[in-house]
Structure 1
Amino acid sequence: MERSLETQVGQAVDAWLRWVPRWEPATHRGRVAPCRRCLGSPILSAAGIGGNVPHGVQHGLSTRIKAIVDHAVAEYTARNLPMLQAELDHQADRNRSRTYRPAEGLDPEYEGMPLDPDPVPGAPFLFTVAGLADEASAELPPLPPLSDEAKAALRQEVALADEYANMIGREICGILLRHRLSVQAAISQYVEPQIEAMLAELSEALDSPFDPDSP
């Protein structure tokens, strides 16, 4: 039996709430480029997660919600958009034939995140995970070409899929409003104390950088 959208969102939020206590601030150098999935996301805004919340915390929830939207759009496409579905099937078959797929099968907290850190100027990488994945993709044959008429029809179906995704997203935003208190409580309990402790430690280090008694 298909779960209702409200049930799916509730389960996604519950899974995120179980994960949040395990979150820790990143100790490695972060990437400069913002995450297009999370930056200015109405989903996160509806859930009560502000832009000042660490990106890892944001990403864990936005990715779980994205999976719900993707599933709903996939079902809609299979029922109503045959040309787009055929193109997606071709692309899926092509992807399955790749020998290296590092971005697949990741936990929600890491799905969609960059596969490699930003390079350091003057110290290029010998290789990158993304580069190896691109090499594997380059070995695949291209998708069959489409006529101009088929391209126009496909663009129309893509637009319909986008409209449906936006509709589902708006409905999910309404559902997430009911979870704001639990989401914000988790951030206050598990995230903010770690950020405050990290800032206090940084402030102490800046106040006494040459203190011989400091560790």
Structure 2
Amino acid sequence: MERSLETRVTQAVDAWLAWLPRWQPATHRGRRSPCRRCFGSPLLAAVGIGDTAPHGVQHGLSVRLTTVIDQRVARYTADNLPLLQAELDQQAARNRTRSYRPSEGLDPEFDGLPLDPDPDPGAPFLFTIAGLAEEATEAAPPPPPLTEAEKNALRREIALADDYANEVGQEICMLLLSHRLRVQAAVRTFVDPQIDQMLQELSRSLDDPFV
């Protein structure tokens, strides 16, 4: 029997809470562009960490929750949207032919993040992980072309899948309201002290302008 959406959301939050004590502030360079999974996420806003917690903390939770949505949409697509499912099956078959798939099998905390850091100005990389992955993708055989009627039908099914994803996302936002207190308490316990310590170390390292 398929687990209820409420159960899946609770399990996702529980898994994130179990991981959170291991979180540490990142020491690498920051991102130059906002994370599309986390920036403005209604899921993060529903638990009250959409504009307060560091991105690494947000990302670990948002990926776990969006995975719940993705799995629900995948089930809906398989049951109701045959054209879209056929396209997804073809894409999956192409992916299996690629010899290099660095973005697959990542832990939720790293899923969807850039594969390479931003290059330093004037010092480009000799090669990048993303570039190698793109070369493997280009080497895979292209899918067969669609007729105009098939394209229109596929667009309609994609719109239906998007609508369903929005419905599931809205329901998850409502379910997350019951987890706000424990999520925010965990951030105060495991994250805020580390941020405060970083700020204290930074203040000690700066010269006092009034001396």
Bin of the TM-score, shorter chain as denominator length = over 0.9
**Which residue does 1:213 correspond to in 2?**
none
Q: Which runs of 4+ in 1 moved over 2 A?
A: none
Cα offset, 1:51, TM superposition: 1.5
1:165 aligns with 2:165: yes
* Per-residue Cα deviation, 1:1-21 (whole angstroms, up to 9, x for no partner): 210000000000000000010
Secondary structure of the structure 2 residue equivalent to 1:207: coil
TM-score, normalised by the number of residues in structure 1: 0.96
The letter for the 1-side match of 2:53 is V
Quote the residue 2:4 is aligned against. 4
2:84 aligned residue: 84
User: Could you report, residue by residue, the CA deviation over 1:22-57 in whole angstroms, capped at 9, with x for unpaired residues?
Assistant: 000001112211101100000000011132310000
Mapped to 1, the partners of 2:29 and 2:208 lie a distance apart of 23
Letter paired with 2:120: V
Map of 2:189 onto structure 1: 189
Q: Which amino acid aligns with 1:21?
A: P
| Alignment map for 1:1-215 (pairs within 5 Å) | 1-207=1-207
Measured in 2, the distance between the counterparts of 1:9 and 1:207 equals: 47
Q: Secondary structure at the match of 2:16?
A: helix
For 1:50 and 1:169, the matched residues in 2 are separated by 15
Range that drifts further, 97-106 or 29-38: 29-38
Partner Cα separation in structure 2 for residue 180 and residue 128 of structure 1: 39
Structure 1 CA distance, aligned partners of 2:100 and 2:158? 28
Task: Work out the CA distance in 1 between the residues paired with 2:149 and 2:171.
Answer: 34
**1:146 CA displacement:** 0.1
CA contact (8 A) 2:46 2:177 kept: yes
CA distance in 2, matches of 1:52, 1:7: 26
Letter in 2 for 1:26: A
Aligned to 1:212: none
Q: Distance in 2 between matches of 1:36 and 1:67?
A: 14
The sequence identity of aligned pairs, in percent, is 68
SS of match in other structure, 2:85: helix
Alignment coverage as a number of residue pairs: 209
* Distance apart, 1:207 and its partner CA: 2.9
Please give the alpha-carbon distance, in whole angstroms, between the structure 2 residues aligned to 1:103 and 1:78. Answer: 24
Measure, in 1, the Cα distance between the counterparts of 2:104 and 2:30. Answer: 22
**Superposed CA offset, 1:164-183 (max 9, x none):** 00000000000000000000
| Offset from partner CA, 1:82-136 (integer Å, 9 cap, x none) | 0000000000000011000000000000000000000110000011000000011
In 1, distance between residues paired with 2:169 and 2:108? 18
Matched residue type, 2:97: S
Indicate if the aligned counterparts of 2:40 and 2:50 stay in contact, CA closer than 8 A.
no
SS in structure 1 at match of 2:191: helix
How far apart are 1:208 and its partner, in Å? 6.0
Does the Cα contact within 8 Å between 2:41 and 2:50 map onto a contact in 1? no
C-alpha offsets along residues 56-76 of structure 1, whole Å, 9 cap, x if unaligned? 000000000011000000000
Unpaired runs of 5+ in structure 2?
none
